């Protein structure tokens, strides 16, 4: 018996939102770790222009000309499909708060889906000056030891250690940014951080943190290892926001030093926290300090539950959702933390249209 037209229409009306939701998630990409992620789409960001006092905008003809202007601000980030929504928000925030957005050169490191990432960044930021550099995960995958959270074990999470080798030699200084942050200040102020002689890295230091907790009893009980920090005022710093002198890094061979500590970690467990401890072993007590306002980190909570956090006292130039909880995940789950409302204005994700939105 044929279905009555009104009944058919009513049934289709009920099922259409489910169909649209399913269709929106049917286009997926399988990443290297065999997880599936919807391919996101983003709205086009507005155009941002230099103020009158800025140097001329970047006119890049080839990757080898990127570092020729001393006025260029170089920013490095990693890109992957899983964290692309956060990366796009971070880029948007950098441009929006910069007095000279047309003099910023972005350097993106990616290990997969490079064609998709390139077209997405190009369509979202049509006037952005950027390059994408392929990262061979096999270079580091054999050195990675399991940590307390699976996301920390992604090979791309270690790409920051290879920036001086991946970027052209004409790039001398770069600001590295994680994908789970937004700036609310001019990045030029951060990029202008002075790096004294023989100092290759600058970041906010947190000397009140329990530094010994970042390494295992095996490390501290071995005199040949614990002597590493002798004579150094070693303090914790977060590697999600760093100013890096690539020339000094290359000369000193810091990438090889980081790899040596990772190789030792494979033989005897001396730390638990992914890519951070090797940086501490090489740089703690040997960096230039940056004001804490440039990394209000920990807004994603701890590495286990990702509970809501409050801002640290003092002024804020950069908000960083390090930890398990990411603002876009909590917003989509309709369980946002209060501070996630500060990230939301930079979210350019193109939301799927459902019939009940009309």
Residue 277 has pLDDT above 80, yes or no: yes
Q: What is the per-residue pLDDT across 192-214, written as a single tens digit (0 to 9) for each?
A: 999 999 999 999 999 999 999 99
Query: Which position has the higher pLDDT, 242 or 147?
Result: 242
Q: Looking at residues 234-246, what average pLDDT do you find?
A: 98
Token pair belonging to 164: 């001086």
Q: At what angle do helices 276-283 and 254-267 cross, to 10 degrees?
A: 120
| pLDDT, position 190 | 99
| 8 Å CB contact between 145 and 259 | no
Share of the chain above pLDDT 90, in %: 73
Residue 331 has pLDDT above 50, yes or no: yes
| pLDDT, position 4 | 45
Q: Looking at residues 273-287, what average pLDDT do you find?
A: 94
Backbone angles phi, psi at 285, to 5 degrees: 85, 0
DSSP, residue by residue, 204-252: -EETTS-GGGGB-HHHHT-HHHHGGGTT----EE-TTEEEEEHHHHHHH
| pLDDT, position 262 | 94
Q: Looking at residues 248-264, what average pLDDT do you find?
A: 97
Least confident range of 23-27, 53-57, 85-89: 23-27
Q: In the predicted model, what is the mean pLDDT of the chain?
A: 86
pTM: 0.85
Sequence-ordered list of residues with C-beta below 8 angstroms from that of 239, at least 6 positions apart, any chain: 160, 176, 203, 275, 276, 279
Residue 356 has pLDDT above 50, yes or no: no
Domains annotated on the chain, with CATH? 40-289+348-357 (3.90.550.10)
| pLDDT, position 42 | 98
Q: Looking at residues 79-94, what average pLDDT do you find?
A: 97
Work out the number of other CB atoms within 10 angstroms of the CB of residue 280. 22
Least confident range of 11-25, 128-142, 274-288: 11-25
Q: Looking at residues 146-168, what average pLDDT do you find?
A: 85
Token pair belonging to 58: 């970047």
| pLDDT, position 151 | 61
Cα–Cα distance, 325 to 137 (Å, whole number): 25
| 8 Å CB contact between 327 and 340 | yes
Q: Looking at residues 42-65, what average pLDDT do you find?
A: 82
Highest mean pLDDT of the ranges 13-27, 67-81, 208-222: 208-222
């Amino acid at each position: 018996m044929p279905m009555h037209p009104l009944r058919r229409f009513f049934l289709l009306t009920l099922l259409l939102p489910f169909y649209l939701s399913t269709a929106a998630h049917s286009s997926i990409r399988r990443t290297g770790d065999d997880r599936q992620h919807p391919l996101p789409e983003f709205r086009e960001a507005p155009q941002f222009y230099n103020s009158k006092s800025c140097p001329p905008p970047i006119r890049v003809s080839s990757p080898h000309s990127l570092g020729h202007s001393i006025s260029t601000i170089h920013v490095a980030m990693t890109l992957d499909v899983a964290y692309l929504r956060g990366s796009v928000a971070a880029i948007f925030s950098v441009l929006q708060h910069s007095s000279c957005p047309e003099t910023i050169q972005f350097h993106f490191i990616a290990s997969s889906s490079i064609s998709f990432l390139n077209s997405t960044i190009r369509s979202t930021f049509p006037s952005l000056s950027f390059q994408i550099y392929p990262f061979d995960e096999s270079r580091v995958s054999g050195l990675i030891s399991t940590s307390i959270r699976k996301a920390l074990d992604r090979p791309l999470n270690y790409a920051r250690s290879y920036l001086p080798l991946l970027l052209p030699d004409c790039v001398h200084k770069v600001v590295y940014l994680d994908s789970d942050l937004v700036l609310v200040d001019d990045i030029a102020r951060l990029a202008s951080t002075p790096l004294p002689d023989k100092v290759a890295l600058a970041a906010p230091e947190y000397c009140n943190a329990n530094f010994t907790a970042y390494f295992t009893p095996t490390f501290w009980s071995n005199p040949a290892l614990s002597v590493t920090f002798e004579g150094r005022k070693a303090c914790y710093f977060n590697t999600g926001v760093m100013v890096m002198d690539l020339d000094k890094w290359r000369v000193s061979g810091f990438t090889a030093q980081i790899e040596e500590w990772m190789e030792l970690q494979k033989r005897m467990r001396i730390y638990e926290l992914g890519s951070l401890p090797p940086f501490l072993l090489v740089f703690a007590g040997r960096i230039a300090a940056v004001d804490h306002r440039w990394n209000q980190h920990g807004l994603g909570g701890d590495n286990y539950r990702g509970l809501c956090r409050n801002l640290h006292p003092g002024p804020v130039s950069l908000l960083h959702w390090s930890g398990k909880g990411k603002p876009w995940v909590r917003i989509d789950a309709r369980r946002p933390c209060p501070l996630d409302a500060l990230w939301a204005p930079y979210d350019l994700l193109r939301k799927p249209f459902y019939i009940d939105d009309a």
